Chain A
Amino acid sequence: MQIRPILAALRRHKAGTVLIALQIALTLAIVCNALFIIHERLANMSEASGVDEANVFVIKNQWAGDRSTQQIDAQVRSDVLALRQLPGVRDAAPASGYPLKGGGWDNFVTMTPDQVKPTTDSSVYGSDEHLLDALGLRLIAGRNFRPDEVVVMGTQQVVIPPVVIVSKALADRLFPDGSALGKSFYAMSATPTTIIGIVDELHRPGVNQWNRPYAGQSLIWPLRPDDARGIYYIVRAKPGRLAAAMREAPKALYAQDRMRIIDPKDGLLSFARVRSRVYDRDRGMAILMGIVSMVLLAITAAGIVGLTSFWVGQRRKQIGVRRALGATRGDILNYFLTENLLIGLGGVFVGTVLAIGINLWMVARFEMARLSLAYVVAGVVALLLLGQGAVLAPALRASRVSPVEATRSA
Chain B
Amino acid sequence: MLSYYLELALRSLRRNPALTALMVMAIGFGVAASMITWSVFRAVSGDPIPDKSARLFTPQIDGWGPQQNLKGEPADALNYTDAMVLMRAHEAKRQTLLYPVQLSVMPGGDRDLPLAANGYAVGGDFFAMFEVPFEYGTGWSAQDDHARAAVVVISDQLNQKLFGGANGVGRTINLGGHDYRVVGVTRHWNPKPRFFDLFSTQGFEDVSDFYMPFTRALDLEMRTDGSNSCRGKLTFTTWDDWLQSNCVWITPWVELDSAADVARYRHFLENYAADQQRAGRFDWAPNLRLRDVVQWLDHERVVPPESRISFMVALGFFVICLVNTIGLLLAKFLRRAGEIGVRRALGASRRQIYTQYLIEAATVGLAGGVLGLLLTAAGVPGVGLLFPPQIARLAQLDLSLVALTFAVAIFATVAAAFYPAWRAAKVQPAWQLKSN
Contact = CB atoms under 8 A, between A and B. Distances in A.
Chains A and B come from one and the same complex: yes
Interface of A: 15-16, 19-20, 22-23, 26-27, 29-30, 33-34, 37, 62-66, 107-108, 113, 116-117, 155-159, 188-190, 227-230, 258-261, 263, 280-281, 284-285, 287-289, 292, 295-296, 299-300, 302-303, 306-307, 309-311, 313-314, 362, 366, 409-410
Find the residue from B115, B232, B316 having the highest chain A CB count within 10 A. B316
B257 interface: no
Contacts of B33: 292, 295
Interface string B26-65: 1001000100010000000000000000000000000000
Give chain B's interface secondary structure class. Answer: helix
Given A23-B324, A65-B177, A158 B235 contact: yes
B320 A19 contact: no
B198 to A, nearest CB: 14
Interface of B: 19, 22, 25-26, 29, 33, 37, 67-68, 102, 104, 106, 112-116, 176-178, 223, 225, 228, 230-237, 239, 242, 304-306, 308-310, 313-314, 316-317, 319-321, 323-324, 326-328, 330-332, 334-335, 385-389, 419, 423, 435-436
A78 B113 CA distance: 20
B234 A156 contact: no
A261 B115 contact: yes
B318 to A, nearest CB: 11
B310 A288 contact: yes
Nearest to A354: B316
A228 B220 CA distance: 12
Contacts of A313: 335
B176 A64 contact: yes
A261 B104 contact: yes
A196 to B, nearest CB: 22
B31 to A, nearest CB: 13
A34 B104 contact: no
A298 B113 CA distance: 56
Nearest to B112: A258
B232 A188 contact: yes
A229 B225 contact: yes
B304 A64 contact: no
Given A16-B330, A22-B323, A306 B104 contact: no
Given A280-B387, A281-B388, A309-B331, 14 more contacts: A23-B324, A63-B104, A64-B104, A108-B231, A156-B228, A156-B236, A190-B233, A259-B114, A288-B386, A292-B33, A302-B22, A303-B323, A307-B331, A366-B309
Contacts of B235: 158, 190
B419 to A, nearest CB: 7
